[in-house]
Amino acid sequence: MKILGLSAFYHDSAAALLVDGEILGAAQEERFTRKKYDANYPKNAISYCLDEAGIMLADVDAVVFYDKPFVKFERLIETYLAFAPRGFNSFRKAMPIWIKEKLFQKNLLRKKLMAIQPDFDWKNRLLFSEHHLSHASSAFFPSPFENAVVLTMDGVGEWATSSIAIGRGNDLKIQREQHFPHSLGLLYSAFTYYAGFKVNSGEYKLMGLAPYGKAKYKKLIIDKLMDLKKDGTFRLNMDYFDYCTGLTMTNERFSDLFGKPARCAEHEKLTQFHMDIAASIQAIAEEVLLRLTMSLSNEYSIPNLCLAGGVALNCVANGKIVRDGAFKNIWVQPAAGDAGGALGAALAGWHLYYKGARNVDGTQDLMHGSYLGPSFGQKEIESCLTAAGATFEVCKDTTMINRTANALVEGKAVGWFQGRMEFGPRALGARSILGDPRSSDMQKY
């Protein structure tokens, strides 16, 4: 059985293909279009997956989309009604887009699929998974564990902002959820916005800024912005945030609390204040996750933990969870963000809808090292370089390795390209930039 999983129309569009439960290929659309975080329909990623399997769309048994757009629309409407008349300007701008495009994504997907294969049986083959179920599936089903607690945290899916699931064999059931607007992902994104970075893409910059500051505002955040419980659950004080109804993440009251307006990245340099803000929200994220994972460990007495969702891309917090030791074994989906939702949707289709088997050995995961994208042969590479007018020399492996080592010693940066492309936002040696870590200037260079 062949199942194609898709994520699209928000950010990190991607496609993934399973053949009898094995992950045959997965890639983000941005890797083909060169548009970072490309949210468009992933036609290039789909073509790659089909080509990798040597099949046509008509050969696919099911296409599974990673969330349910109509339920998202329900959340949007209910939120605007709950906060009315606040947010009318945001409502006025959002509605035409939803009514024209997003509300009818099933029809849009059908048209896109029919453009590839006019006789595609969309009525029986097009399925929809819930957003957090897709994330949880991407975390548990490829993991090496027979049983695991699965923690998913992100900004928001349809309604859920975090969820707890239990995976056993080829079954996965969500136990409970925390709902919008109370979200660790959106809290982190609010500080991303406040520090002058772009929401949904600049969070890694905030994480990288944190080590240069001190968590001076951690207590203030806990006292004013959130009601944090011992088990890691929390509620946010929405008086300080504007993301429910406004066009920004934070409001004037938030700025007054910290004594400065939100940073304008185009005109204002980063200061020690912004570094301290970054350190403070990073400390909060770690505190929430450590309380939560300790509580889950005590509640379920399962030694294995799987993580997915955008928050699981916070590798610093993940390291704290590992060192805390509440769980004996931890596995993180490498494409933990929405791109991984495409893979999770396909896996949910295989295991939960079609009841497909799952074979794990307790040690090796099923991600093939996350090398799931396209590869290129020597002749193809030389042909592309020639067509681009590049100057190049073909070397033996030993010569290439020696030249690379010497270049690194000389303080140069090296672009390294080999094998299949990585799936997810981590350079794993297949499409990587190499530099000498001994140099204090290398990161900036």
More confident residue, 98 or 104: 104
Q: What is the mean pLDDT of residues 119-130?
A: 88
Determine the pLDDT at residue 265: 83
Q: Does 71 have pLDDT greater than 80?
A: no
Strand, coil or helix: 4: strand
More confident residue, 82 or 1: 1
Q: Does 193 have pLDDT greater than 80?
A: yes
Q: Does 64 have pLDDT greater than 90?
A: yes
- CA 401/CA 360 separation, integer angstroms: 36
**Cβ atoms of residues 298 and 215 within 8 Å:** no
Determine the pLDDT at residue 349: 98
Q: Calculate what percentage of the chain has a pLDDT beyond 90.
A: 80
Contacts of 282 (CB under 8 A, 6+ apart): 206, 207, 210, 215, 314, 316, 317
Q: Does 134 have pLDDT greater than 80?
A: yes
Q: What is the mean pLDDT of residues 378-390?
A: 96
Q: Pick the range with the lowest mean pLDDT from 94-98, 202-206, 339-343, 370-374.
A: 94-98
> Domain 2-139+335-366 is classified in which CATH homologous superfamily?
ATPase, nucleotide binding domain (3.30.420.40)
Determine the pLDDT at residue 70: 66
Average pLDDT value for the chain: 92
Pick among 3.30.420.40, 3.30.1300.10, 1.10.10.10, 3.30.200.20: CATH of 184-331: 3.30.420.40
List pLDDT tens digits, range 231-281: 999 999 999 999 887 778 999 999 999 999 999 987 899 999 999 999 999
Determine the pLDDT at residue 171: 97
- CA 258/CA 217 separation, integer angstroms: 8
Distance of CA 79 to the CA centre of its chain: 24
Q: Does 78 have pLDDT greater than 80?
A: no
- Give ranges for CATH 3.30.420.40 in the chain: 2-139+335-366, 184-331
Backbone angles phi, psi at 230, to 5 degrees: -65, -30
Distance of CA 46 to the CA centre of its chain: 19
Q: Calculate what percentage of the chain has a pLDDT beyond 70.
A: 93
List pLDDT tens digits, range 412-444: 999 999 999 999 998 999 999 999 999 989 988
Q: Does 94 have pLDDT greater than 90?
A: no
Q: What is the mean pLDDT of residues 163-179?
A: 97
Q: What is the mean pLDDT of residues 303-317?
A: 97
Q: Does 92 have pLDDT greater than 80?
A: no
Other CB atoms within 10 Å distance of the CB of residue 323 = 8
Q: What are 66's two structure tokens?
A: 């990673």
Q: Please state the pTM of the whole predicted model.
A: 0.92
List pLDDT tens digits, range 6-24: 999 888 999 999 999 999 9
**Cβ atoms of residues 16 and 5 within 8 Å:** yes
